[in-house]
Structure 1
Amino acid sequence: MAINLSSSSYLVLGLIGLRGPSSSYQLKRAVERSVGYFWPFPHSQLYVEPRRLADAGLLEESAETEGRRRRTYSLTPAGREALREWLRDPDTEVFQVRNEAELKLFFSELGDEGTAERLAEAQVRYHQGRLEEFQKMLERLVDVPDLEKRVAPLVLGVRIEEACLSFWHDVRESGVRGALGRTGLPLPGGHAGRHPD
C-alpha cells in the first residue's frame, strides 16, 4: 500500500533504524533526549505514525500476548529503502524559524512603553538557559565514539542559541534601534548603523 511519507514518518523510520525494535513509548523517550530539541512535533504522532507505517509495510509490528500488550516496531527492508531514498535527496523544506517572541517583537509598537525590553529580558533568560543545556549535552556526548553525526545538530543548536542570545541581549541593552544598528546597514530614517565592535 503506497502512502505519503511526512517528516514525522522519516523521524519514526530513522529512530527505529538507529535504535532497533522500539515501542511508541520508547520512541517518545528517544525523541525527548535527542531530536526533540530541534524538531518539535506532537508526541501523539509517535503512537499513530508507527501503526500507519506498519500498515504500509515499512515497519513490522509485534505485540506482547500478555501484560501490557505493548506493540514493538522494527524496520522492514521496504522501510529501510524508503529511509535511504529520503536520505539520498539533499533537498529539504525551507528553513523556518517560528518563534512567538519574534511575532511579539514585530507588533511591540502597539504595546506600552518597555514592551520590547521586557520581551528581550525574558528571551535572554530563555536562550541563556537553552545554550547552557546544549553545551552541557555537547560536553557529555562529544567524546562518545561513533556519535559525531548525531551530535552535529547539537553544535548547530549551540550556534543558533548564541546568535539568538546576542540579538536579544542587544535589544535589552540598546533597544530595537541598537540591535538594528549592529547590522552595519542603513537604518530607517536615514541613519547608518554601526558595525559590531
Structure 2
Amino acid sequence: MTPIRIVVADDHPLYREGVTRSLAESGRFAVVGEASNGAEAEALVARERPDVALLDMSMPGGGIATLRRILALPQPPRCAMLTVSEEDDDVMQALRAGALGYILKGVGARDLVGILSDLAEGRSYVAPSLAMKVLAAMNAPRAKKAETPLDTLTKREEDILRRVAEGKSNKEVARDLDLQEKTVKHYMTAILQKLQARNRTEAALIAREGWPGTRKP
C-alpha cells in the first residue's frame, strides 16, 4: 500500500513530534514536512504536494487563514484542523472554509490514523462531541446578510474586540474571558482580517464607531 503523504503543522514542537511519530509508525503515512506556523505550512504544501495537510487551528499565521490559502493552491490536499477549541463558531468557520476534518487534540494515536486515512479517501470527520452542534447549526435558518464588517464577527470575537476597544491588553482579555493569551491572539488575527484593519488600534477605532456604547480607555 502506497503511504499517504502528509504535512503536519503545529507550533508546539513536542506535540507535533508526537503526532508525526505516531503517523509514521503506523505505516500508513509518510510525513513529508513539518511546520510551526501558517507560512511554513503553505510553503511546504506548495512544494511537496501532499495528500493531506493537518493544521493547528491556533498556530501563528492563523489556522483558518492558512487553510484558505492552501485550498487556493493548484491541486490542494485534503485538509483537517487539529485543535483544542470546541467553540461552535470555530467548528463552522473551519468547515465552511473547506476543512474536511475537525479533530480535537485529545484524540488517541490509533484513532487519528484512522480519521486521517478516511480523510485521504475523501470522507469527512467532525469530533463526535461536536457533531450534534454542527448538525443543528447547519439546519438553522440562515441569518440576514451582514451589513457591516462588525456584523461578521462571531460572539467570541465580539467579546474580545469590545475589551480591546476598552484598552485592554491580550493578557487582560484572556483573563476576563478565561482563555489562553495565545487563543486571544488567534482571534485577533481573524478580527483584523474581517475588519480589514491594519492593527488592533485601528480595529478598536472601528469598534468604537460601530458600537457607540463601547467605553474608551
Tell me if both proteins adopt one fold, taking TM over 0.5 as the criterion: no
Q: TM-score range by the shorter chain?
A: under 0.3
The structure carrying a bigger helix percent of its residues is 1
TM-score by length of 1: 0.25
Bigger Rg over Cα:
1
TM-score by length of 2: 0.23
